[in-house]
Amino acid sequence: MIGNGCWFEFDEVRGKIIIDGPMTTDLSFAAEEMQKYVRRAHGMFLPIQRGVLSESTQNAIVVRIMAERLATVEEDGFAITYRNGNVFIEGNGIRSVLYGTYRFLELYAGMRWLTPDHEVIYEPTDRKVWIEERHDRPDFRRRGIILEGVQSASYAIGVIDWMSKNGCDLLMMTIEFWDEHQAALRPEMQARQLRLGLGGHSLDRFLSPGDYFEVHPEWFAWYEGGRVAAQPCFSNQEGIAFLIGRIVDYCRQEPDMDTLSLFPNDNKYFCQCPSCSTQSFVSNYTTFLETVRDQLEADGQSVRIQMLAYNAQIEWTMLESMPEAASLDVMVACWGRDYRQTIGSPAGDRDERFRRIVADWGQACSQRYHSSLSVYEYYADYWMMTSLFPPLARTICKDIEEYRSMGVQEMICLLLPYEKSVRIMQEEIMGLPRENNLADREFNSETPVMWLNLYMFARKLWNSSLDEAGLIDEYCRAAFGQHGDTGKTLLYALEQQLAQLTVYNTRWFKLRYTDVWIRDHRSKGKAVVTGVSPWAKEEDEPEIPAERSEVSRRIVEELEDVWHKAAHQGAHSDESTLLYQALTQYFRYVIQKLRSIDKQSSAQSKLIRQETEEAMSDLTEALQIETEIRGWDALHFAHRLRDPNVL
């Protein structure tokens, strides 16, 4: 809501930042952030004072807790108001006062925080500004990021800082990561009052098979005639009591936790014992979580327990079966979407199924369970998106509008960083030892692309009526300066061309479009996924390389066309921002990588057809490209060139 306006002047002499009100809530971080960015944008130092405003005070920026909650301002909302020559930024707590502070700095100091490493003055403002009163609140109750596979506390701290600046409130991570880095992360979370979510596939942490499977096999799942350590048996009273006791103990010593998400272990070995078999796995799991919730409540703890519905190993049972009754908040994760299309306008059967599932859960939560529905998305998941990571500005914006209309009240996005995807490739798939210089392998597009996705995500969750064209215009001007229009053209071309590759992640599960020289055991018809194996021409389905080659070639043509046109608008200019340079480098990398994938796939087709000499020529060309871009495939198939017998 925007109300009346008034002039306010940033004044070097009389100006100050005042922390008003009771000392019980420490607003010094908000005041320091205000001081830091007013200095950066307006070049003046405003001192920070504590205490109540006097009658004669002028040109002050006052941060304070609202005296009483305004009806229009919900938990995370804030107000920017104006009285007697002073500005007031008010919220119900540290978190919302900070949101108000950063919003004020965007509006009246021109600041934008695009990535953790790129804060820019988007449009310089005058020292005298027209302030409009506003009461602002987010459209989504929780706006979160899940960190997975992050190695360092410093990366997580960058995310924490960025989240607060862009209106996010919930950061989830694994219990292991939190336990290891909490000394560094806790003060950063507390300063911003971000909500801490813990969990993931962490049942093993509380009921370790290593410690208990041998002693108490009956605590674990009965599966095809024997006990397996893969899941607990949810009917064994003694085992479950032990497990819940451990969970309650952990929560007791972690008072900062807002949400605990206890996912089942990431496999489908659900207990088949007679007692568990009387109802569905989802019902057993729901009952278990409700017991955890009740015992936490009895223990006087206010941790929120969330249940998860997702397609583990692309099995649909857990995603689709809804318990008759449930009283828990629900998180739904649809793994394997085709990101060319938005959730509400699906292209294929699989995506239509996802749309229906989210709509059904939305209805169940609002009408039967009376609980909150959260959607878990993959917009920043490097493993899923591969080294050909697509910008998803259009999809994300439309998705969020559609999710909202389906009754979704919270969203959380997985951030699996580039570095982790490199490690999975190197260590788990290729079996190579760790090396230190991982960073320049293939292309790290977090800066020009992944953070764009997260920026759109955070902005839309706060205000879902923001239009996508306006948002992307603003981002491109802030990020690319004078090259804003060209940058936008390049981003949209990448979105249009690369988003279509996401569909292959599930069609070829669990390989991605970029994994040319490995195959999934599943593709050989085994019921249980056990891993991946090297490419073998005698086992391959010829349509896979043929299709991959054709798609790559088509995209290269489209992107080259865009690149040549952009070149006329100065795409190669030296006078550009770092973000613009990163984008153009990525654009050229994508063309190179797809050329290489085309050549390699074409070689595979020829090898299947016994056209060895022609295949060698394709591979030689691809190897040259891979060497230039430090691609994985240089390692994957180089030996095939050295030793034709392997062919």
Which residues are near Zn ion by CB under 5 A? 233, 235, 271, 273, 276
Q: Which two tokens stand for residue 319?
A: 């995603």
CB of 272 to Zn ion, least distance (A): 7
CB of 276 to Zn ion, least distance (A): 3
DSSP string, 243-271: HHHHHHHHHHT-TTEEEEEEPPPSS----
CB of 243 to Zn ion, least distance (A): 13
Q: Which amino acid is at 287?
A: T
Tell me whether residue 182 or residue 272 sits nearer to Zn ion (CB atom): 272
Tell me whether residue 205 or residue 227 sits nearer to Zn ion (CB atom): 227
Give the contacts of 277 (CB within 8 A, at least 6 positions apart). Answer: none
Q: What are the backbone dihedrals phi and psi of residue 241, each rounded to the nearest 5 degrees, phi first? A: -60, -40
CB of 233 to Zn ion, least distance (A): 3
Contact 116, 161 (CB under 8 A): yes
Contact 600, 622 (CB under 8 A): yes
Tell me whether residue 233 or residue 607 sits nearer to Zn ion (CB atom): 233
CA distance 200 to 261: 6
CB of 267 to Zn ion, least distance (A): 15
DSSP 3-state of 386: coil
Tell me whether residue 101 or residue 235 sits nearer to Zn ion (CB atom): 235
Q: Which position has the token pair 């119900």?
A: 92
Q: 484-498 and 393-405 helices cross at what angle (nearest 10)?
A: 70
CB of 597 to Zn ion, least distance (A): 46
Query: 51's torsion region: left (phi>0), alpha (psi -120 to 50) or beta?
Result: left
Q: What are the backbone dihedrals phi and psi of residue 490, each rounded to the nearest 5 degrees, phi first? A: -65, -40
Q: What are the backbone dihedrals phi and psi of residue 193, each rounded to the nearest 5 degrees, phi first? A: 50, 40
Tell me whether residue 224 or residue 538 sits nearer to Zn ion (CB atom): 224
CA 226 to chain centre: 38
Q: What is the largest CA-CA distance in the chain?
A: 90
Q: Identify whether 510 is preceded by a cis peptide bond (ω within 30 of 0).
A: yes
Q: 451-462 and 393-405 helices cross at what angle (nearest 10)?
A: 30
Tell me whether residue 219 or residue 379 sits nearer to Zn ion (CB atom): 219
Tell me whether residue 57 or residue 279 sits nearer to Zn ion (CB atom): 279
CB of 216 to Zn ion, least distance (A): 13
Contact 339, 502 (CB under 8 A): yes
Tell me whether residue 268 or residue 460 sits nearer to Zn ion (CB atom): 268
CB of 235 to Zn ion, least distance (A): 4
Tell me whether residue 178 or residue 270 sits nearer to Zn ion (CB atom): 270
Using alpha carbons, select from 194, 158, 155, 203 the residue that is nearest to residue 176. Answer: 203
CB of 265 to Zn ion, least distance (A): 14
CA 72, 463, 396: angle at the middle one, nearest 5?
Answer: 155
Tell me whether residue 285 or residue 378 sits nearer to Zn ion (CB atom): 285
CB of 409 to Zn ion, least distance (A): 33
